[in-house]
Chain A
Amino acid sequence: MAGRAYIAGAFEHPGRHLPDVSPAQLHAEVALGALADAGLTLADVDGFLSTPDAPGFGVITMADYLGLDRLTYTDTTETGGSSYITHVGHAAMAIEAGLCSVALVTMAGKVSSGVPVPSGYPDAPELSFEIPFGASLVAEHALAARRHMYEFGTTSAQLAEIKVAASTHAQHNPNAVLRKVVTVEQVLDSPLIADPLHKLDCCINTDGGGALVVVSEGVARSLDRHCVAIRGHATAIKASFDGRIDLTYTAAAQSGRRAYDMAGIGPADIDYVGLYDSFTITVLEQIEDLGFCEKGKGGLFVESGALRSPDGQLPTNSDGGGLCNNHPAARGGMPKLVEAVRQLRGEATPEVQVRDCRTALVNGIGGSIGTRMGSATVILSREAV
Chain B
Amino acid sequence: MTEERGLPAPAPAVSPHSAAFWEASAQQRFLVGHCPGCDQWFWPPNRTFCPRCGEAASLREASGRGTIYSHTTVRVSGSIAIGGGPYNYKDALPFVLAYVELAEGPTVMTNIVGADADVVAVGLPVRVEFSRTGGPEDPALPRFRLV
Given contacts A127-B83, A136-B85, A147-B69, A194 and B46 within 8 Å (CB-CB): no
Contact B46 A126 (CB under 8 A): yes
A368-B82 in contact (CB<8A):
yes
Assembled-state Cα–Cα distance A156/B75 (Å): 17
**Residues 143-154 of chain A, each 1 if its beta carbon lies under 8 Å from chain B, else 0:** 110110010000
A131 touching B81, Cβ below 8 Å: yes
Digitize A255-268: 1 where CB-to-B-CB distance is under 8 Å, 0 elsewhere.
Answer: 00000000000000
Q: For B105, list chain A residues within 8 Å (CB).
A: 243-244
Of the residues B41, B83, B109, contact of A124 by C-beta under 8 Å: B83
Cross-chain contact A139 with B97 (CB below 8 angstroms): yes
Residues of chain B within 8 A (CB-CB) of A144 are 70
Q: Which residues of B contact A142 (CB under 8 A)?
A: 72, 74, 97
* Beta-carbon contacts under 8 Å, A352-377 to B: 367-368, 371
Residues of B within 8 A of A371 (CB): 109
A136-B46 in contact given A128-B12, A146-B122, A242-B52 (Cβ < 8 Å) = no
Which of the segments A50-58, A114-122, A214-222 contacts the partner chain?
Answer: A114-122
User: Are A134 and B70 within 8 A (Cβ)?
Assistant: no
Is B70's CB under 8 angstroms from A137's CB? no
Count of A-B residue pairs with CB < 8 Å: 167
A323-374, CB < 8 A from B: 330, 367-368, 371
Looking across the interface, which residue of chain A has its beta carbon closest to that of B93?
A134
B135 to chain A, nearest CB (A): 17
Q: Which residue of A lies closest to B102 (CB)?
A: A243
- Cβ of B1 within 8 Å of any chain A Cβ, yes or no, is no
Judge whether A192 and B75 touch: CB under 8 Å: yes
Name the residue on A nearest B81 (C-beta). A136
A161 to B64, CA, bound (A): 40
Nearest chain A CB to B88's CB is how many angstroms away?
9
Of the residues A116, A133, A367, contact of B110 by C-beta under 8 Å: A133
Q: Identify B109's interface contact among A115, A129, A194, CB under 8 A.
A: A129
Q: How large is the interface on A (under 10, 10 to 19, 20 to 34, 35 or more residues)?
A: 35 or more
Output the least CB separation between B49 and chain A (Å): 11
Q: Does A157 count as interface, using CB distance less than 8 angstroms?
A: no
Structural contact, A147 and B43, CB atoms closer than 8 A: no
Q: Is the CB of A146 within 8 A of B72?
A: yes
Question: What B residues does A247 contact at CB under 8 A?
Answer: 69-70, 99
Smallest Cβ-Cβ distance to A371: which chain B residue = B109
Q: Which residues of B contact A146 (CB under 8 A)?
A: 70-72, 122
A118 to B98, CA, bound (A): 25
- From A196, which residue of chain B is reached at the shortest CB distance? B72
In the bound assembly, the distance between CA atoms of A130 and B42 in angstroms comes to: 15
- Shortest distance between the CB of A108 and any CB in chain B (Å): 19
Task: Determine whether the beta carbon of A193 is less than 8 Å from that of B69.
Answer: no
CB distance from B132 to the nearest CB of A (A): 12
B2 at the interface (CB under 8 A from A): no
17 contacts between A and B (CB under 8 A): A125-B46, A126-B44, A126-B46, A131-B87, A133-B143, A134-B92, A134-B95, A134-B97, A134-B111, A136-B79, A143-B70, A146-B70, A146-B72, A147-B69, A242-B40, A243-B44, A247-B69
Given A134-B97, A139-B72, A371-B109: 12 more A-B contacts, CB < 8 Å? A115-B82, A127-B12, A129-B109, A136-B86, A137-B79, A147-B122, A150-B122, A191-B75, A192-B73, A240-B43, A241-B51, A243-B33
State the 7 A-B residue pairs at the shortest beta-carbon distance, nearest first.
Answer: A243-B106, A243-B43, A128-B12, A142-B72, A129-B44, A245-B107, A242-B42
Chain B residues near A (Cβ < 8 Å): 8-15, 17-18, 33, 40-44, 46-47, 51-52, 69-76, 79-87, 89, 92, 95, 97-99, 101, 105-111, 117, 122-123, 133, 141, 143
Interface residues in chain A, defined as those with a beta carbon under 8 Å from any beta carbon in chain B: 114-117, 121-122, 124-139, 142-144, 146-147, 150, 191-197, 199, 240-245, 247, 330, 367-368, 371
